[in-house]
């Protein structure tokens, strides 16, 4: 159902714009949908304890019921009230990385609607570090269920403009506080498994996690293509996700990118390039004509922060193919690889 999307701009500290925060919180309390910034990406929020409000998230995003939603809290006390168990490794991870881009999968409290969890007994919970997200949850006085604020399967939004491109007229309001700083979603981990399992690499790296709780494993999604699952064990496990409209072609290095670019240009394809700093300097001048300056290849934090923005900007130029190199697995590279591989399927 189409509606007027209110656009609240929050400049600087949310303490200086309490009117916008209060209005957005009131919308959440009465069952509406509010997009808001987190440190990772923009989320589409609703009262996590309101069954009907959670269903509206699925309707607005056109999200299938088998894909669970993360629940956001503003404090450790609120977060612990959402789950039945609090194992030692969960406590270590929470105290080490929260507020921040990490989500814990834990047995849910009965107050959490089954729609949030795709019918499963576990819920993903986290405390965002973005001050606007924290202020919104505090003002609403309820935990907020929030997947990324985009149409299902599309490239995730890291600016308010991205959100409005996908959801304008489908949600009640957006809190606009500028670009997100991390740029990829939170790390989702099951701390109760032995060893703990990372279901979605994200803003807290595997190396950081292992430094506080020891060895972990990284799950490999095994979902049959074109066969919907009954439910996913974790958010972000969909086999095709984060995808631009253009065909995304992944390459290993600059030489392979140059070769594939030349072939595509010879075939008169309209191509776009996620171009690391200094790459393609000696290539066909047309190769850089539709390109996105992604950042230095060794600066994985910048590559993560800009990856979704780059894919969206190239899509806006109606390219048929986007060429993108896939970074090494260490640090934030693991999360970037995860998103690019799912976007390219």
Residue 259 and residue 214 share a domain? no
pLDDT band at 2 (very low <50, low <70, confident <90, very high): low
pTM: 0.93
Q: How far apart are CA 198 and CA 337, in angstroms?
A: 14
Residue 68 and residue 181 share a domain? yes
Q: How far apart are CA 6 and CA 24, in angstroms?
A: 9
Residue 295 and residue 163 share a domain? no
Does residue 327 form part of some domain? Answer: yes
Residue 156 and residue 304 share a domain? no
Q: How far apart are CA 35 and CA 180, in angstroms?
A: 13
Q: Is the four-CA dihedral 99, 153, 162, 220 of positive or negative sign?
A: positive
Give tens-digit pLDDT for 56-100: 999 999 999 999 999 999 999 999 999 999 999 999 999 999 999
Q: What is the CATH number of the domain that holds 267?
A: 3.40.50.11030
Does residue 271 form part of some domain? Answer: yes
pLDDT (0 to 100) of residue 45: 98
Q: What is the mean pLDDT of residues 230-248?
A: 74
Residue 114 and residue 48 share a domain? yes
Q: Which of 218, 236, 258 is the last residue of a domain?
A: 218
pLDDT (0 to 100) of residue 318: 92
Give tens-digit pLDDT for 260-305: 998 998 898 999 999 999 998 876 666 556 899 999 999 999 999 9
Residue 306: what are its φ and ψ, rounded to 5°? -105, -5
Does residue 229 form part of some domain? Answer: no
Q: Which of 168, 198, 218 is the last residue of a domain?
A: 218
Instruction: Between 231 and 49, name the one with better pLDDT.
Output: 49
Buried/exposed 147-184: b ≥16 CB within 10 Å, e otherwise: bbbbbbbbbbbbbbebbbbbbbebbbbbbbbeebbbbb
Residue 322 and residue 186 share a domain? no
pLDDT (0 to 100) of residue 81: 97
Q: Which of 198, 218, 238 is the last residue of a domain?
A: 218
Residue 253 and residue 203 share a domain? no
Q: What is the CATH number of the domain that holds 66?
A: 3.90.870.10
Give tens-digit pLDDT for 125-150: 999 999 999 999 999 999 999 999 99
How many domains is the chain partitioned into structurally?
A: 2
Pairing between strand 321-325 and 247-251?
A: parallel
> What 3-state DSSP class applies to 139?
helix
Does residue 228 form part of some domain? Answer: no
Residue 172 and residue 278 share a domain? no
- C-beta of residue 331 within 8 angstroms of C-beta of residue 235: no
Does residue 233 form part of some domain? Answer: no
Range of 278's domain? 247-344
Instruction: State what percent of residues in the chain have pLDDT above 90.
Output: 83
Does residue 117 form part of some domain? Answer: yes
Q: Is the four-CA dihedral 124, 128, 134, 136 of positive or negative sign?
A: negative
- C-beta of residue 148 within 8 angstroms of C-beta of residue 157: yes
Beta bridge partners of 197: 190, 217
pLDDT (0 to 100) of residue 345: 73
Residue 57 and residue 188 share a domain? yes
Give tens-digit pLDDT for 115-124: 999 999 999 9
Contacts of residue 31, defined as CB under 8 A and 6 or more positions apart, other chains included, come to 46, 47, 50, 52, 53, 56
Q: Which of 13-22, 209-218, 224-233 has the highest mean pLDDT?
A: 209-218
Q: Strand runs (DSSP E) across the chain, as ranges?
A: 6-9, 34-37, 42-47, 71-72, 102-107, 122-126, 144-145, 173-176, 187-190, 197-200, 217-218, 247-251, 271-276, 291-295, 321-325
């Amino acid at each position: 159902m189409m509606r007027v999307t209110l656009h609240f701009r929050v400049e600087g500290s949310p303490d200086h714009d309490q009117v916008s925060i209060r209005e957005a919180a009131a919308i959440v309390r009465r069952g509406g949908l509010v997009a808001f910034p987190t440190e990772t990406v923009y989320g589409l929020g609703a009262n996590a304890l309101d069954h009907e409000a959670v269903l509206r998230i699925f309707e607005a995003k056109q999200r299938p019921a088998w894909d669970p939603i993360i629940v956001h809290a503003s404090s450790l006390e609120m977060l612990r009230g959402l789950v039945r168990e609090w194992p030692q490794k969960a406590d270590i991870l929470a105290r080490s990385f929260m507020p921040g881009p990490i989500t814990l999968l834990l047995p849910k409290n009965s107050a959490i609607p089954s729609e949030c969890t795709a019918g499963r007994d576990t819920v993903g919970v986290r405390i965002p570090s973005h001050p606007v997200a924290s202020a919104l949850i505090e003002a609403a006085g309820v935990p907020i269920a929030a997947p990324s604020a985009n149409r299902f399967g599309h490239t995730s939004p890291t600016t308010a403009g991205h959100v409005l491109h996908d959801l304008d007229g489908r949600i009640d309001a957006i809190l606009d506080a500028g670009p997100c700083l991390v740029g990829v979603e939170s790390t989702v981990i099951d701390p109760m498994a032995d060893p703990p399992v990372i279901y979605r690499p994200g803003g807290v790296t595997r190396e950081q996690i292992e430094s506080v709780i020891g060895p972990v494993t990284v799950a490999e999604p095994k979902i049959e293509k074109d066969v919907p699952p009954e439910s996913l064990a974790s958010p972000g496990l969909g086999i095709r996700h984060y995808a631009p409209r253009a065909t995304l072609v992944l390459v290993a290095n600059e030489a392979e990118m140059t070769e594939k670019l030349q072939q595509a240009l010879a075939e008169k394809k309209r191509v776009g390039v996620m171009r690391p700093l200094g790459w393609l300097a000696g290539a066909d001048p047309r190769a850089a004509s539709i390109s996105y300056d992604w950042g230095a290849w060794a600066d994985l934090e910048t590559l993560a922060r800009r990856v979704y923005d780059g894919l969206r900007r190239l899509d806006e130029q109606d390219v048929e193919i986007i060429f993108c190199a896939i970074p090494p697995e260490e640090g934030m590279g693991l999360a970037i690889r995860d998103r690019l591989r799912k976007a390219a399927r």
